[in-house]
Amino acid sequence: MTTLQLSSTMTGLCTPDPLKFAFTAKTSAHASRGGAAPLMLDDAGWQAWWQQESEAKARALYIHIPFCRKRCSFCNFFENGANPTRMSRYMEALCGSLRQAAETPLVQSRPFSAVYVGGGTPTDMAAGDLARLASAIRRFPLTVDAELTLEGRLNGFDDEKWQTALAGGFNRFSFGVQSFDTRVRQQAARFDDRETLLARLAALTRHNEAVIVADLIFGLPGQDEAVWRQDIADVMASGVHGVDLYQLISMAGTNLARADEKGTLGWAADGQQRAVMYADGARTLEAGGWERLSCSHWRRTDAEQSRYNQMAKWGAEILPFGAGAGGDIHGHGLMYGRDLAPWHEAQAKGVRAPGMVMRPNPDARLDGLLRGGLDTGWLALSQLPQGLVSHLMPLFEAWQRHGLARLSAERLALTLAGRFWNVNLQAGLFEYLRCNPPGGSKGGERPSGHPGKMAGHARV
């Protein structure tokens, strides 16, 4: 009989306070099984892919706009300064790529139910470029209720851009607020003060013309628990339809990391304090009637579906466009390089832009069920193969013993502590499967299909 390997990185620690101490730290924004092999794909093979019809049941588009006017202190995704001429050149090439792709059998074979325009700061583009982008998107077969999200910041998103986006079909806007506190924002190198943000959100939500979502980060320098409680109160009163609560993750190469190395960072919440902040935010939102859609996302009304984000976690086919974009085509993971020069050169020649292509993941459907389920906070055990449920039960029972989950005959439900450590639990589950493969088999994993809240967004 084979002895199962269990480690604290899989199960968490046995502690009286799992919210604070189950794991040492959250070290990544996302988790996957890993182990996929790259695929050597020539241009003929690439062109052939676009002539093949899709077999995917769920599809979305991801469009990457890799420009920002300013680098925030916590961001390690900054790629290009938002020079207007450079941005317009990029948008012209990007829209040309979209128009060409829209005519292919791959695109036309099945409709898309979500589009996400991320970055970077897409709202930094000119109104005219935004109109051209919306026109190119409308060439794709979209479902009647398709969710079209434009990501960005409130600063610079004036009424002209707002009306242009609405006229172009965008019906969801995701703004990186991070904190409403003026001093915290200044330290994070953000534009605008608290009053300006609240006034702009009130104006955009006044007539419910589109869904408005705000991102908040907990753990920013200078953001103590009192400031965080005010951030939660402000977002609840702002009129937005949804909110994300993201933990600040210290990443190498950021201005924040450099300040920490120099000893000039100032006070910042430690891991245990961040855990308390997450719990306070979650409890306050839910006590106020906000519905939790995932471990990090809540909605005030059912107008907010967060469809793209859920599709990305559950493993939908996501066609990527733009330098730095990631997704998948025919089950092959794809990530374009971030360098603009070779990307422009490839567009001019009509060939695939430089980047990484991976072999299909034989466990893609299962991994989507596991990752998507844990992201929402619970797994329906009946959706998993019965043999796999039995194989995973030692891990699930350890999570329950450690206060991270509750088991019933029908499902595994994460506790509040488990939801805080959700990404660690996902990583632990995939580690468990690598070390204890069912039947001794080993599967691969393609790269994540969403570069927005994964590889390309300065969200966490």
In tens, the pLDDT along 56-87 reads 999 999 999 999 988 888 877 777 888 999 99
Domains of the chain: 8-30+363-440 (no CATH), 43-314 (3.80.30.20)
- b (16+ CB within 10 A) / e for 399-438: bbebbbbeeeeeebbbbbbbbbbbbbbbbbbbbbbbebee
Q: State the pLDDT at residue 17.
A: 98
Q: 172-178 and 405-407 as β-strands: parallel, antiparallel, unpaired?
A: unpaired
Rounded to the nearest integer, the mean pLDDT of the chain is: 92
Nearest to 239 by CA among 329, 167, 181, 154: 154
Residue 441 is predicted with a pLDDT of: 47
Angle between helices 307-314 and 364-376 (to 10 degrees): 130
Tens digits of residue pLDDT in 319-377: 999 999 999 999 999 999 999 999 999 999 999 999 999 999 999 999 999 999 999 99
Three-state DSSP at 336 gives strand
Residue 95: CB partners within 8 Å, gap ≥ 6? 132, 133, 135, 136
State pLDDT tens for residues 106-135: 999 999 999 999 999 999 999 999 999 999
**pLDDT tier at 2 (50, 70, 90 boundaries)?**
low
What is the model's pLDDT at position 450?
37
pTM: 0.93
How many other CB atoms are there within 10 angstroms of residue 382's CB atom? 10
Residue 454's pLDDT is: 33
The predicted pLDDT at position 442 comes to 43
Residue of 80, 85, 56 lying closest to 70 (CA atoms):
80
| Pair of tokens at residue 350 | 């009509």
